[in-house]
Amino acid sequence: ETGVTQSPTHLIKTRGQQVTLRCSSQSGHNTVSWYQQALGQGPQFIFQYYREEENGRGNFPPRFSGLQFPNYSSELNVNALELDDSALYLCASSRSGRSADTQYFGPGTRLTVL
Amino acid sequence: QKEVEQNSGPLSVPEGAIASLNCTYSDRGSQSFFWYRQYSGKSPELIMSIYSNGDKEDGRFTAQLNKASQYVSLLIRDSQPSDSATYLCAVNKSGGGADGLTFGKGTHLIIQP
């Protein structure tokens, strides 16, 4: 157990809808990163939040957005869902935004878009 | 060229043998390297981190890093059936961490009893 929690566990949406996924970071960690993992692939970096600011972003369109709250928990919002958005969404927390810091993953949210 | 490459496998190893997992990366500026284990339907779990050239040992696991060859490996000694999983190699490129981790596709390891 890493101490990182995510909700919900599973989610089914239809194309065009919007979804919000939630993550609580491990105690003492101020950085949250979000990843998308399609079936049979490695996780892909969506973005990172450090002290409530977006600290870096991968190659994902603007319909993927996020927030980090003062308690360092975070949300991932996806608008205008597409079928290809079906994936496991992983949240990882780390002590800071430095590259050497280990990222600890939560259990993930499985999103299915129909 | 893919940024982080791993042989997808499956890699089949007899119980008790040494499993050797390999990973190459393309960005010479990469500074931090991680091995994660992922069981089917679960999230990645950290096995090892390595930052300097050479070997790093932790129990049955040894990570090896060669920055000149842009190569990272993970050895698992005395392989157990519970080691059967997908092993993900991850690299952090920038010093600031803002690029996130870049993962390979993973190597599916099967330990045969």
Q: What is the pLDDT of residues A64-105, one digit of tens each?
A: 999 999 999 999 999 999 999 999 999 999 998 777 789 999
C-alpha A34 chain-centroid distance:
3
Chain B residues with CB-CB distance to A96 below 8 A: 97
What integer pLDDT is reported at residue A1 of this predicted model? 67
| CA dist., res. B59 & res. B10, Å (int) | 24
What integer pLDDT is reported at residue A98 of this predicted model? 78
Residue scoring higher pLDDT (B98 or A89):
A89
- In the structure encoding, which two tokens stand for residue A31, read together? 């950085």
What integer pLDDT is reported at residue A99 of this predicted model? 72
Contact criterion met (CB < 8 Å) for B42 and A107: yes
The predicted model gives A29-36 an average pLDDT of: 95
What integer pLDDT is reported at residue B93 of this predicted model? 75
The predicted model gives A14-29 an average pLDDT of: 96
Determine how β-strand A87-94 pairs with β-strand B19-25.
Answer: unpaired
What integer pLDDT is reported at residue B2 of this predicted model? 65
The tokens 């692939």 sit on which residue? A41
* pLDDT(B96) > 60: no
The predicted model gives B10-35 an average pLDDT of: 95
**Torsion angle (degrees, nearest 10) of CA A113, B46, A44, B111:** -70
pLDDT band at residue B94 using 50, 70 and 90 as cut-offs: low
What integer pLDDT is reported at residue A66 of this predicted model? 97
Q: How many C-alpha atoms does A88 have within 13 Å on its Cβ side? A: 19
| CA dist., res. B91 & res. B72, Å (int) | 10
Q: Which of A91, A99, A109 to mutate to test the interface with B (most CBs of B within 10 A)?
A: A99
Share of chain B above pLDDT 90, in %: 84
| CA dist., res. A88 & res. A78, Å (int) | 13
Contact criterion met (CB < 8 Å) for B95 and A99: yes
Q: What is the DSSP string of chain B?
A: --SEE-----EEEETTS-EEEEEEES-TT--EEEEEEE-TTS--EEEEEE-SSEEEEETTEEEEEETTTTEEEEEESS--GGG-EEEEEEEE-STTSTT-EEE---EEEEEE-
Q: How far is A7 from chain B (nearest CA, A)?
A: 14
- Which residue is closest to B95 within chain A, CA to CA? A99
